[in-house]
Amino acid sequence: MMANVKLKEHNISGPILLRRAGVSYALTAQEDTFMPLGIAVGLLGDDAVLVELNSDDEKEILDASEHTLDLIREEFGLEGDAKAVHAALFPKKSLAAKAVKAVTPAPKKEEVKVEEPVEEPVEEPIEDGDAPLDIDWSELTVKELKVILEEKGLSTDGKKADLVERLSAGDE
């Protein structure tokens, strides 16, 4: 039995690797990963993972262990023996089954959320030779004033007025 397993949401850091019984499985939101039902059932109940049974599983459900059936019953909200679980998961193509399918809501399509990085403007410090002679130092913040004073090798102590006076004196 092979079940389809994938992540419910895109993982920006790449696939999640699952290693079971000596085999590695890479789980993504974009592609189905096929794994034995016994392993996939162990993932039932995990909010980040979507486990879907396929037509290959239909034949095997009747022979599944009681533990596997318990996990399937719990995940899909089913009751009854293996035949009841089988009938609920794989209904016959009867009029009753078509009516149930018609009232069952379709699964929501997955939306991949991509956050674009925000670039912050980088202010380059003014070199000594590039500094205009008529700068109004009082328009700058204390932090900016201290950076310029450090670059000029001047003291960064004091209030904003002291910093502005120190830079103004250096312009002359």
Q: Which of 20-24, 89-93, 117-121 has the highest mean pLDDT?
A: 20-24
Which residue did the predictor score with more confidence, 17 or 94?
Answer: 17
Beta-strand relationship, 16-20 and 23-27: antiparallel
Please give the structure tokens belonging to residue 146. Answer: 């201290």
How far apart, in whole angstroms, are the C-alpha atoms of residue 64 and residue 52?
16
Map tokens 């890479």 to a residue. Answer: 26
Judged by average pLDDT, the poorest of 22-31, 36-45, 92-101 is 92-101
Determine the residue type at 39: I
What's the pTM value of the predicted model, to 2 decimals?
Answer: 0.42
Do 42 and 90 touch, CB atoms closer than 8 A? no
pLDDT at 7 over 60: yes
Percent of the chain with pLDDT over 70: 73
Determine the residue type at 54: N
pLDDT in tens, 48-96: 888 877 777 777 777 888 888 888 888 778 888 888 888 877 777 544 4
